[in-house]
Amino acid sequence: MNFTVPNENLNKHECPLAVIKCVDFRFRESDQEYVVKGLGYKDFDLYAWPGSAKDVLKNNGFKVSFIEKIVAVSKNLHNVKKLLLLWHWDCGAYGGSKNFKSPELEEEQYKKDLSIVKNMLLSELPNDLEIIMAYSKAVPQGLEYILVE
């Protein structure tokens, strides 16, 4: 069965942002809504990997491959200016929220790891590529997204 979807971006070749996020289906729609409505980026490259970019902490082949793709595709082909590292609450790469003694400790770990990954990437990515960081956490209304300074 064929299915046709209108696409207004077919002739565009640039976008301002690349996002690396977790593949977890529970966060797909809300993550996209955060990027579009919360941060104001309609167009962005999307990289989804289990645990987001947490594997960069291992300083292994994933980091090298990830950096190569960001530079080759997002930076050089799409002229991306910013990279968003996006973590989420209850991440399986950390063993889920149950692995933390409190929501505050979970949040602290995410902030710490985001900063470490950012610094690792800053040393190897082009200087004109800004890295921003955010994570989501559960609140009674759904998910709250927090931009990390």
Does position 68 have pLDDT exceeding 80, yes or no? yes
User: What's the pLDDT score for residue 9?
Assistant: 84
Any residues with CB less than 8 A from the CB of 49 and at least 6 apart, and which?
Answer: 20, 22, 23, 55, 62, 66
What average pLDDT score do residues 120-147 get? Answer: 94
Write down the pTM of the prediction: 0.91
* CATH superfamily membership of 17-148: Carbonic anhydrase (3.40.1050.10)
User: What's the pLDDT score for residue 59?
Assistant: 76
Give the model's confidence band at 70: pLDDT under 50 very low, under 70 low, under 90 confident, else very high. Answer: very high
Measured over the CA atoms of residue 52, residue 63, residue 149 and residue 111, the dihedral's sign is: positive
Distance CA 147, CA 76 (A): 26
User: What's the pLDDT score for residue 112?
Assistant: 95
CA gyration radius for the chain?
A: 16
Instruction: Tell me the two tokens of residue 54.
Output: 């947490």
Going from N- to C-terminal start, the domains of the chain cover: 17-148
What tens digit of pLDDT does each residue of 35-64 get?
999 999 999 999 998 988 888 888 778 888
User: What's the pLDDT score for residue 18?
Assistant: 97
In the 3-class helix/strand/coil scheme, how is the chain assigned residue by residue? CCCCCCCCCCCCCCCCEEEEECCCHHHHHHHHHHHHHHCCCCCEEEEECCCCCHHHHHCCHHHHHHHHHHHHHHHCCCCCCEEEEEEECCCHHHCCHHHCCCHHHHHHHHHHHHHHHHHHHHCCCCCCCEEEEEEEEEECCEEEEEEEC
Distance CA 99, CA 24 (A): 18
User: What's the pLDDT score for residue 53?
Assistant: 85
Mean pLDDT of the chain: 93
Nearest to 87 by CA among 59, 66, 115: 115
What average pLDDT score do residues 97-115 get? Answer: 95
